[in-house]
Structure 1
């Protein structure tokens, strides 16, 4: 066997192995229960952890309905979080920072504006009312 034939054989075997791994991951992912089944449905997600990133930025971890669930959101898409604050509906869009392959939770990075700290937001941000600080 020549060096060229050996090289071609190695490339074909490597490409086949990569294809099989990709297909296996894809089929495994399809079998995971997905939380976001319908874009028009609201899904309650409990806040299970918060971590301070900086003085005004926090990472919030929200639990999915079951530990084996994945969020089911395509890369680059966002989710809407909504809450009633003082009788008004407040809605914010966030892009998750956790991978969609992670099971059981979703992570969001949120900037929190505190009252009387930032002159642009003297009353603070809406999230202060959500109890996220």
Structure 2
């Protein structure tokens, strides 16, 4: 009798141990598969600490902001942006949208590449920021929604700091091995020195030659230059963007006059409204 009772006890303990192991394994898989909760609030501004400020040129700097923990994510959908709040030179509140160059795969922090204009109200705030200061941020914002493989190819026409949403979308596509979308980018600036993120863009073109093509256009090019010259033309779009089709989309982002001109070019070339998106 004691022998049978001992067997029952061993069986009960073994079953209990198996149940605990299965539960622990399920919990582990659930935690691994669960998407981390983002740090943004679409209704209220939250404070994020500036931990690094690196000058890239005379009027461009990269700002790195810490998230609450080393494993936190910002929680910004691909191609959307955040609103940053600061003060201009007169002490007046100013709010302006920016697109981080980082993705949610970059845990623990997010980065903004900012071009600071002499008379820019928010530019003043960024110029004055020092490591240890806090930035008020709200989001996510934006109408753009992207799913891997939703189009065969993306055309992009960007001007100046309008490169940031294009860069973010391109990074997300290229770093996803399951996304075969091809990206064709036309990037326009005034001078060579105005080109933002050039090292990163050239790196992506080199690492993903079959999936990413970039064509630079300069209004005032250097003496030795193999890119486009002047303003982005219909001919440039025809040559360097995917032709109009139901399974392509062309994104544009730049100064208002450029956006207006590009919309007219795309209309003339036969791109329907459904094929176009303006950030």
Give the distance between the partners of 1:55 and 1:102, measured in 2 at CA: 27
Matching of residue 132 in structure 1 with residue 115 in structure 2: no
Structure showing greater relative contact order (alpha-carbon pairs closer than 8 Å, 6 or more residues apart) = 1
Partner SS state of residue 110, structure 2: strand
Matching of residue 81 in structure 1 with residue 84 in structure 2: yes
Matching of residue 59 in structure 1 with residue 62 in structure 2: yes
The root-mean-square deviation of aligned C-alpha atoms, in Å, is 2.3
Greater radius of gyration (CA): 2
- Give 1:96-107 correspondences, 5 Å limit: 96-107=100-111
CA 1:84–1:113 in structure 2 vs 1: closer, same or farther (change >3 Å)?
Answer: closer
Give the distance between the partners of 1:49 and 1:42, measured in 2 at CA: 21
CA 1:39–1:129 in structure 2 vs 1: closer, same or farther (change >3 Å)?
Answer: closer
**Counterpart for residue 41 of structure 1:** 44
Q: Is contact 1:78–1:94 with CA below 8 Å preserved after alignment?
A: yes
List alignment gaps of at least 5 residues for structure 1.
1-23, 115-120
List alignment gaps of at least 5 residues for structure 2.
1-28, 131-279
**Counterpart for residue 6 of structure 1:** none
Normalised by the length of structure 2, the TM-score is: 0.32
Higher helix content, 1 or 2: 2
Matching of residue 91 in structure 1 with residue 95 in structure 2: yes
